[in-house]
Amino acid sequence: MGVSGLFNVLITVICIWIAWWALQGFRFDIFMRNPGGPQAKVLLIMISIILGYLVSSFIIDYLQWSLLLKELF
């Protein structure tokens, strides 16, 4: 259980970091009045957390489902 929890936390943090890195190439200046301001930075962080969490949830669920497949046979 402890190793599984640590694995889930690591996957989530890695996915959040990858989402943040990927969003660095997105042009927020088109949609924001002040793209360098604190509100834009908070928005970038929140979008990174949301995307990273969704991707990590998919990966973790997929791994758990694939481990359950061995119980079919």
36, HSE (Cβ side, Cα atoms, 13 Å): 0
Per-residue pLDDT of the chain (73 residues; tens, 9 = 90+): 899 999 999 999 999 999 999 999 988 888 888 888 899 899 999 999 999 999 999 999 999 999 999 888 8
pLDDT of residue 27: 87
Specify the number of domains making up the chain.
Answer: 1
Q: Which residues of 55-67 are buried (b: 16+ CB within 10 A; e: fewer)?
A: bbeeebeeeeeee
Q: pTM of the full predicted structure? A: 0.86
pLDDT of residue 30: 87
CA 16 and chain centroid, separation: 4
Q: How far from each other are the two terminal CA atoms of the chain, in whole angstroms?
A: 24
Domain that holds residue 19: 2-72
Evaluate whether 45 touches 8 at the Cβ level (below 8 Å). no
